Amino acid sequence: MIIGGVAERSGGSVYATIITIDAQGELVGRHRKLKPTWRERLVWADGDSLGLRTHDTKICKIGSLICWENWLPLARAALHQQDEFIHIGVWPGSITQVDDITRFIAIEGKTWSIAACGLLRAQDIEHLSDDIFPVREDMLARKQSWQNGGSLIVASDGSVVAGPLIDEEGAVAADIDTKSVVMARQLCDPSGHYSRPDIFGLTVKSANVVGAGDK
């Protein structure tokens, strides 16, 4: 399957969106970033809860969040409650942003945690004209790399097993043993035997969103 980020337009709004494509090539998931971060709010609209779910695969359930919404405790908890075994964090790319949170997600949820990061370097925009990219000169004058990657894979015990890949294009890969998740949760399953549903509860409100079915 493939999980990746796109810019999605629906009606008069633009969303930072993760799409999930299954092994048969079908679009099975669309998750819009719940809350654009800082200056992103000038461009992106607020997302909704329709895509806040895990997806079944032959080996386990996989969930995903975008960029800084990975820091939202209740968003993570919503995926924990759906028995997430592998968590995908999709990021524009910066090792300083992903190194701590990727390990934290693995340790907190007893999941495998993957950070998929992009690159943005001078060479990626220097061929553009000022008409197409009006802030080109300002960007080139700042520094050579704005997003330096940082893709990595973390096991359910918090150990880094692949990456981080920094300042270069490429791929990181690892064999994922889902039994390690089961073993880790014998000690502490935050949404299973170590939870207290009689005291705590999480309700995810459904949203009837115009354009929610768009592909």
- Give the span between the Cα atoms of 205 and 41, in whole angstroms: 22
Return the minimum-mean-pLDDT range out of 7-16, 65-74, 119-128: 119-128
What is the residue whose two structure tokens read 């999605």? 8
Q: For residue 52, give the nearest of 207, 171, 215, 210 by alpha carbon.
A: 207
Asked whether residue 19 carries a pLDDT value surpassing 90, the answer given is yes
What pLDDT is recorded for position 211?
47
- Please report, for the chain, the start and end positions of each structural domain, with discontinuous segments joined by +: 54-187
Query: Could you tell me which CATH number the domain at 54-187 has?
Result: 3.60.110.10
Q: For residue 172, give the nearest of 61, 63, 88 by alpha carbon.
A: 88
Q: In the chain, what are the helix, strand and coil shares in percent, each to the nearest 5?
A: 25, 30, 45
For the sheet with 27-32, list strands across it: 2-10, 13-21, 27-32
What pLDDT is recorded for position 210?
46
Asked whether residue 1 carries a pLDDT value surpassing 60, the answer given is yes
What pLDDT is recorded for position 111?
97
With a CB cutoff of 8 Å and minimum separation 6, the contacts of 173 are 153, 162
With pLDDT > 90 as the criterion, what percentage of the chain qualifies? 77
With a CB cutoff of 8 Å and minimum separation 6, the contacts of 47 are 15, 16, 17, 31, 32, 33, 34, 35
What pLDDT is recorded for position 88?
97
Per residue in 27-57, pLDDT (tens digit) is: 999 999 999 999 899 999 999 999 999 999 9
Return the minimum-mean-pLDDT range out of 106-110, 172-176, 184-188, 203-207: 203-207
With a CB cutoff of 8 Å and minimum separation 6, the contacts of 85 are 59, 60, 61, 62, 111, 112, 178, 181
At what angle are helices 95-109 and 73-80 packed, to 10 degrees?
40
Per residue in 89-114, pLDDT (tens digit) is: 999 989 999 999 999 999 999 999 99
Asked whether residue 213 carries a pLDDT value surpassing 60, the answer given is no
Longest dimension (CA), the chain: 60
Per residue in 144-182, pLDDT (tens digit) is: 678 899 999 999 999 999 999 999 999 999 999 999 999
